Structure formats: structure tokens, C-alpha cells
Structure 1
Amino acid sequence: MTSVTTLFAPVEADLSVLTENLKKLVGARHPILYAAAEHLFGAGGKRVRPAIVLLISRATMLDQDITPRHRRLAEITEMIHTASLVHDDVVDESEIRRGVATVHSRFGNRIAVLAGDFLFAQSSWYLANLDNLEVVKLLSEVIMDMAEGEIQQGLNRFDTSLSIEAYLEKSYYKTASLIANSAKAAGCLSDVSPEVADNLYCYGRHLGLAFQIVDDIFDFTGSTEALGKPAGSDLKSGNLTAPVLFALEEKPYLEVLIEREFTQDGDLEEAIALIMEGKGIERSRELASHHAQLAVQQLASLPTSECHQALIDMAEYVLSRLY
């Protein structure tokens, strides 16, 4: 199984600079926000999203070094992702994230909402300063998509009629849009052709969907320690993901438990048992694998390089988290 460390080896030095820069970008003008940011950026995240931006930057700038704008794009990508996590944790009332206390559980909801807003605002400001209209449009769309995904998720709580298509659309908005649009933006900064830029977008889209489906499987198969949050927490809050939607097709009683929102003792445990018994997990794995394969196909237009190979291996890594 490929580890993240091996996978990111071609951009390891770039990622070290990125972590230091993120703390500087937030600035020390607001001590409480700086404390929140330091807490966030120090919290053992894998830095998958900026690593993808940096790998694409290097894979598309083979004979030259990447530019300061490529680096700044990677930083903006991580800021947007982190801002969305801060807000998600407030909405979901999560006490822990990546094994550490969430911003709102440590500093309170008011500071958490402001910290998320501040990071979104900072990322928008740095984005505008890239002076590239195409990239500004791509990343601005991400911020809209994330809000759309969160709204869709909120409106569809405990809705057993939700289709797999609607689930994938919501997963695109919440997770894949950032990876897809930042992948394309990295290509734009390298002046790739429109066709290659579209391929990079599709790579990010399919990789992001595979990533989200795997995360949703993990909600049932992972330990609290590995997840950084209690297992089954998505289901408990009424967020119906691929394993649940597939299980509903073969376990009718699951619908009863979900529609009464697990109000009776043992409901949640019974629902999890029904999902684990059926083919929901297996079918979700197949769906994740399908999207990972589609992602790899999009990379055919890039020249062979160490970073190109790392992008291919990234799809394998996303799936390997399941085993």
C-alpha cells in the first residue's frame, strides 16, 4: 500500500514551505484567529489537496521550476478546504476532527464561524492577487459549490428517497469541486491547452468523488481513532451516503429506522448492522473504484514524469485506504 509520504515525495519540500506560509498568511493581527489557524494548520492534515495542485504544477512545468503563483494557488486551496471544515464542524456539532478538538469546541461557535469566514475572505483576497481571471472564476465557483453542497445535505437529512445521482451531485459540490477546479487552475497557470485543462478538471472531479465515497464507507468500517470522529456519525445526523442508499434497496426495514430518525433505543446500531450485512459497502467500493479508474484515464495527455506517476498513484492510494 502506497503511503502519503511516498506519494508526496516529489513535492515534500514544497509542502513544508506551504505549512509555514499558511500560518504567515493568516497573520498575527488577530491573536484569537491566529491561534485558531495555528491549531488548524498544525492538526495533522494530510495536505492532499495542495499536494495535488503542486504535483500537477510540476507535471505541467517539466523543464522549468513552478512559479510563486502555483505555490500561492496550493495555499489558497488548503485555506478554502480548512475554512469549509471549520464551518462543517459547527453545522455538524463535531467535537473532534483529525483526532484533535475542533475550533468551535475549543474557542466557541462565534469564533469558529468568524475564523471560517476570515479564511474564506483571506483566500479570496490572495486569489484576486493572482491576477488571472480564469483562475479567479474557477476557485470562486468552488466557494459557491461548497455552500450549495452543505445546503443540499441539510435539506436531504433522513430522506430515504434520495437517489445515488443526487448523492454524487452533493459529493461533487462538497468535495470534488475544490479538487477539480484547483487541478484545472494549476494547469491554467502553466499555460496548458484548453483540452489538457479540461482533462485535469475531470481528473480532479473523479478523484474527488472516489475520495468522498471512500470517506463515506469509512464512516461504517473505520474505528473512531482512524476517523477522528465516532463511527456512524454521518448516518446518525441523517446524512445518507452511498453505503446507506445501496443498502436501502435490499433492506426495507432500514427505511423505517431512518425515517423515525433513530429515536428508539438501539435503532442506530440496528441500522448499522443492516448496512454491514448487505451489499451496500461492496457496491460503494465498486463505485469508488470506477471513479478512480476514470480519474487515471484523464492523465493520458500529460508527459511521463515522477509527478505524473504520483498523480496516477494518488487514485490507487484513495482506494487503498479501504483495505
Structure 2
Amino acid sequence: MRSALHRAFVFSRKHSGLALHARPRPQQSFPIVPDQQRLETQRLEPHALVAPELSHLRGSLLGLLGSAHPGLSEIARYYFLQPSQQLRSLIVLLFSHATNGLGRHWREKAWAAQNEADTGLSEELDRPLRLPDVLNNWHPSMPNDTASFASVFHLRPPGLHQPPPLPPSSVHGIPHLVSPPRLLPVQLRLAQIVEMIHIASVLHDDVLDATTPAPTHEHDGFGNKLSILAGDFLLGRASAALSRLGESEVVELVAGVISNLAEGEMLRVQAGQRGQPGPPRTLTDAWDVYLQKTYLKTASLMAKSARAAVVLGGCREGEVWKDVAYAYGRNLGIAYQLVEDTLDYEAGGKNLVPGLVTGPALFAGEEHPDLQPLIHRNLADEGDIDRAVDFVSRSGGIERTRRLAQSYADAAREVLQLLPDSDPKIALDALAECVISRKW
């Protein structure tokens, strides 16, 4: 793991900021994956391994959202029914498969899921996110006939319901994956929540600010206000679904993601506005802000949702599986965004706007000092973007950014060595290569 992280550190010239800290410290490990597994990786398509689950999750999302204003429903349907690789949901499902059975509390988690299914309690997890006993009336005044008034003094006779059996006691031993493979309902729901948060962030990113000269997406049919409202609506629905998972650590992780998205967007917006504090004074400063924004806006969701999936599978404090999931998601997310940023320059800069300068231009700035003043003002002056594209085309900025992305992907793959061998582990390894090659 150290070698790949070190390569990433060197490639970014030690401008790592938030993105490279908190490297996991494994407490237990499995033998290193043999080299032959690279051949198996090439034969295993990550999406194929969990294709039925991905199809079910996407098909049931609209039903989960429940009733809403027709305009909000229309926007949600537009995004959820678009072709998508569901990358973030895929990470959640694959890590669930790759770690279920390893955590000390897996047996209790599996028992609880089975007991809820047997008693019908699991149906609540799948109900639309508007329940009859929640005050959703249109009129703001409180009605005089709420259900709670009718049964205040009702006493339930004893003996009508048998208490559930006691959960199995945990048996500490060598951790092993559950066989046959099994996903818990709460992990499936987490994958949907992650997709909802991602779509909400896409909707918010679609909002055109004052520095954007033209629409950034083809649809451009909903308008800024509706996009903001739809994004907020999805975040509210995701929060309601999150509350049903019954795991405080997962709630904190996912809530932290929502905060991170807002923090990352603030960095981007401030960089695109004149008079805002904090423009980078040196290339070192620019790298720090860029990688911090990359973690907050992209990698945080992948890292924390992967960790949350492992927690829902029964992993507790002190077990390495949570750290493996977080480190993989963080490194994969940074690699993904670095490749995305190269595509903007490969396309001639047609989607570039004034704001935080990305990897290709930062590397180009090291080779062409005349580009550095443009970087320091975040490409804010007229003609800056065209000049930056020209400088990047005459430099090794795109290739160096791709090498940096590869080093992060390698770090993600190396941390997987701590997991026991399995098809989901091979799929996660293959996914890191897919992120670099964009061969979905």
C-alpha cells in the first residue's frame, strides 16, 4: 500500500491536502493476492456481478420517494431513468459482498434481518417515504382528530405477541465471508440512498451561476429554481430513508457526506467569483485547494458510503474492514475525478468555466510559468480559458494527470489485498481499472 501512496504523493509534488491523509492502519491481514488474479480481473465485469441488485435498486427508487409535487417527481424521474453506471451504488454493493461475515457482529445483523423478514417488520424499510402517522397535511393547523388521540388510553392485553428469540451470541474466531453470499436489506437501502444523494448533487451542480456562459447539460429544461428544489427534495428523502437504517455511525457518515458536498461546492463557487477570499498564491496552494475540493465533492461519497456498507454488515471499531473500505473509496474517488478533469481539456475546454484550476493546468503551470498568473486568478479574465487550453496542449499536463490518477487507482487496488479472496474483491480490483480506462 505504501508504495502506491508514495507514488501518488510524488506525482502530485506533495500538494496532497486533505486527500492523502488518514491512511488506514491495518490490524489484521490476509495473504497478498497472487499475480494470476490480474487475469481473472480482466474477465470479471464489475457490474455483471450485482446486475440484478442494481436493476432492482434503480427500478424501486421512484416508488420509495413517495408522492411529491408533480414537478419534483418529473425531475427525479428524468434523472433516475437515465442510463447510468451507478458507480457509487456499485461500490456499496460490492463492498457489502466482499466483507459480509467478517465483522464481529455479522451474526447479530443477519439474525435481525431474518427476524424482521419473518415478522413482517422489514416491510417498513420499503414503504414510500410518506407515512400516514407523520404530519404531512396541507393545512398548517394541527387537526383535532390525529390517530394518537384515539388510542392514548388504550392498553394492549399481554400475550398477544410472542417476544422475538434472543440473537445468537457472537463467536470470535477467524473471520470468513458468509456462504452463500448475502446482502442485508439495509445495505441495499444504503445503495439507494447513495444514488439519491449523488443525483441531488448533480441537480445542484446543474444550477448555472454568474460565471457560466452557457448551459452545462443538454436537458436545460427545468430551470435553476426547480433544480435546487428537486435536489433539496432528494436530500430530504435520503435523510428520511437514512433514519430507518438504525445505525448511528452510518447516519454520521452519510450526514458528513452531505456536509462535504456543500463545503466542496463553496470552494468551487468562491474560486469563480471576483473579490472572494482565498485565491491560490502559489502552485502549492492551488494543488492543496484542488485536491481538497476533489475529496469533498467526489471522493467523500464513495469513501464514506463504502465504509457505511461495512458497518451495516456488522463491522465495529478496531476492525480493519472499515478502514479498507474508506481507503479504497477515497483513492478511487480521487482517481475518478482526476480522469474526469483530463477529459475537459481533451475536449478542447468547451465545458471549462472560470474557477478552481484542475490537474492538467496545474501540471502545465509547472512547465510554462506564463500560465501561473492565470492559475492564480482562477482563469477569471477574458481569454484565460483559451490560453490555458493552449498551454495544456503544449505540455504534459494531461498525461501527468492520468499518471497521478493511475497512482491513486493503484493505491485503491493495493488496499484490497487485506480482504479475503472472492469474486467481489476481484470485481473491486477491476473497477479501479475501469475508472482509469473508462471502459464500462
TM-score, with normalisation over the residues of structure 1?
Answer: 0.88
Q: CA deviation at 1:32?
A: 1.1
Q: CA deviation at 1:14?
A: 0.4
Secondary structure at the aligned position of 1:140 is classed as: helix
% identical equivalent positions? 40
1:2-61, Cα deviation, whole Å (9 max, x unpaired)? 99x932101000010011111112223321111100001112222100011011111122
The aligned residue for residue 296 of structure 1 is: 413
State the superposition RMSD in angstroms: 2.2
Moved more, 200-209 or 63-72: 63-72
Which letter does structure 1 place at the counterpart of 2:327? C
1:103-135, Cα deviation, whole Å (9 max, x unpaired)? xx2122221111000001110110011010010
**2:361 touches 2:388 (CA, 8 Å); kept in 1?**
no
Q: CA deviation at 1:157?
A: 3.3
The answer on 1:203 being equivalent to 2:328 is yes
Moved more, 186-195 or 110-119: 186-195
1:230-278, Cα deviation, whole Å (9 max, x unpaired)? x4423x33231111111112212223455472414xx533320211111
The answer on 1:76 being equivalent to 2:193 is yes
The aligned residue for residue 227 of structure 1 is: none
Q: CA deviation at 1:195?
A: 1.4
The aligned residue for residue 33 of structure 2 is: none
Q: Distance in 2 between matches of 1:245 and 1:257?
A: 10
**1:160 touches 1:245 (CA, 8 Å); kept in 2?**
no
Moved more, 254-263 or 41-50: 254-263
The aligned residue for residue 215 of structure 2 is: 95
Q: Distance in 1 between matches of 2:438 and 2:407?
A: 15
2:398 to 253, 270, 281: 281
Q: CA deviation at 1:96?
A: 4.8
Are the structure 2 counterparts of residues 285 and 19 from structure 1 closer, same or farther at C-alpha, using a change threshold of 3 Å? same
The aligned residue for residue 155 of structure 2 is: none
Secondary structure at the aligned position of 2:67 is classed as: coil
The answer on 1:214 being equivalent to 2:352 is no
Which letter does structure 2 place at the counterpart of 1:201? Y
1:149 to 255, 264, 268: 264
1:233 to 341, 351, 355: 351
Q: CA deviation at 1:160?
A: 5.3
1:146-173, Cα deviation, whole Å (9 max, x unpaired)? 0000001122338453432221111000
Secondary structure at the aligned position of 1:288 is classed as: helix
Q: Which has the larger radius of gyration?
A: 2
**Greater RCO (CA < 8 Å, at least 6 residues apart):** 2
Secondary structure at the aligned position of 2:206 is classed as: helix
The aligned residue for residue 138 of structure 1 is: 253
Q: Distance in 2 between matches of 1:17 and 1:222?
A: 35
2:234 to 106, 119, 122: 119
1:187 to 287, 290, 310: 310
Secondary structure at the aligned position of 1:56 is classed as: helix
**2:45 touches 2:430 (CA, 8 Å); kept in 1?**
no
Moved more, 164-173 or 191-200: 191-200
Q: Structure 2, unaligned stretches of length 5 or more?
A: 1-40, 101-177, 274-278
Q: CA deviation at 1:87?
A: 0.5
Q: Distance in 2 between matches of 1:91 and 1:121?
A: 22
Which letter does structure 1 place at the counterpart of 2:81? G
Secondary structure at the aligned position of 1:131 is classed as: coil
**1:77 touches 1:182 (CA, 8 Å); kept in 2?**
yes
The aligned residue for residue 225 of structure 2 is: 110
Equivalent pairs, count: 305
The answer on 1:45 being equivalent to 2:164 is no
Q: Distance in 2 between matches of 1:22 and 1:96?
A: 26
Q: Distance in 1 between matches of 2:365 and 2:57?
A: 43
The answer on 1:320 being equivalent to 2:437 is yes
The answer on 1:263 being equivalent to 2:302 is no
**1:244 touches 1:280 (CA, 8 Å); kept in 2?**
yes
Which letter does structure 2 place at the counterpart of 1:198? D
Moved more, 285-294 or 70-79: 285-294
Q: CA deviation at 1:308?
A: 0.9
Q: Distance in 2 between matches of 1:160 and 1:72?
A: 41
**1:157 touches 1:240 (CA, 8 Å); kept in 2?**
no
TM-score, with normalisation over the residues of structure 2?
Answer: 0.65
Q: CA deviation at 1:91?
A: 4.4
Q: Distance in 2 between matches of 1:268 and 1:201?
A: 35
